[in-house]
Amino acid sequence: MPDDPNDKEQESKDFDFITAFSRRNSLPVPTKAHRHPCNARTRPLKLHFNSKEERDKFIVGFHRVKASDSTFSAISSKPRCRRDLTPPELETLRKSRKFVYDENSKAKKSLYIIHGIYYKHNSNPRPFV
């Protein structure tokens, strides 16, 4: 989704975009959408729901329809969706990513992959090109 940090209407546009996507695909509609402030080219979009159940239904539904919904086909960086992680989970994810990167770089092939917030052995490692 296009992101312009200087656009004061960005959060409203994001909310309208996600609301339309949710309704078109019979998914729970978030109560709020806002961009996480950071220096990334595209800032993460955080969605708020009334309950964990609605959040979980949205995430499952998002993964089910994202490939078939034309909303995302025109976007160069394909959107991803996950629940907010707790600080210990974020730390675990960072450590897992670092381990996977370091070990795969040494081996020059994908020996390990990230699964959730943990890493696992890749049963079909591929060499780096």
Which parts of the chain are beta strand (E)?
32-35, 45-48, 112-115, 118-121
- Give the count of domains, the chain: 2
Average pLDDT for residues 7-20, to the nearest whole number?
90
> What is the domain extent for residue 107?
87-121
- Residue 48 domain-assigned (yes or no): yes
What is the distance of C-alpha 77 from the center of its chain? Answer: 11
- Residue 112 domain-assigned (yes or no): yes
- Residue 19 domain-assigned (yes or no): yes
Q: What is the pLDDT of residues 116-125, one digit of tens each?
A: 899 999 999 9
The total of other beta-carbon atoms located within 10 Å of residue 18's CB is 21
* Cβ atoms of residues 30 and 19 within 8 Å: yes
Q: What is the pLDDT of residues 55-98, one digit of tens each?
A: 999 999 999 988 887 777 777 677 888 888 899 999 999 999 99
